[in-house]
Amino acid sequence: MFYLQIVFISIGCLFFIIGTVGLLRFPDVLTRIHALTKADNLGLGFIVVGLIPSQTSAADIAKLVICWLLILAASSVSAYLVANQHIRQTRKPE
Partner 1 sequence: MMWFDVILGIGLIVAALGVFRSDALFRSVVFFVTFGILLALTWLRLQAPDLALAEAAIGAGLTGVLLLDTLGVLNKPATVKFSLPKHLLAAVVAVSAAMGLAWSFWTLLQLPAPVYNLVETLAANIDDSGVSHGITAVLLNFRSYDTLLEVAVLLVAIVIGLGLRQELRQELRQGVRYDKVQSNGENDEQSASLSSKQANAAEHEAPALLKSLVHVLVPLLLITAIFVLWAGSTRPGGAFQAGALIAAAGVLARLGNIDIASRVNLLLRTGLTIGVFIFLLVAVSPMLTGYAFLAYPPGWAGVLIILIELMLTISIGLILLSLFIHAPREKRNGGSS
Residues of the shown chain interacting with partner 1 in the complex, contacts defined by CB under 8 A: 70, 73-74, 77, 80-81, 84
Q: In the complex with partner 1, which residue's Cβ is closer, 4 or 70? A: 70
User: Do residues 59 and 65 touch, judged by C-beta distance below 8 A?
Assistant: no
Give how far Cα 71 sits from Cα of 44, 48, 64, Å: 9, 12, 11
The least CB distance from residue 85 to partner 1, in Å, is 10
Q: Which is nearer to partner 1, 25 or 63 (CB)?
A: 63
Closest CB to partner 1 among residues 78, 90:
78
Nearest by Cα to 75 from 24, 37, 19? 37
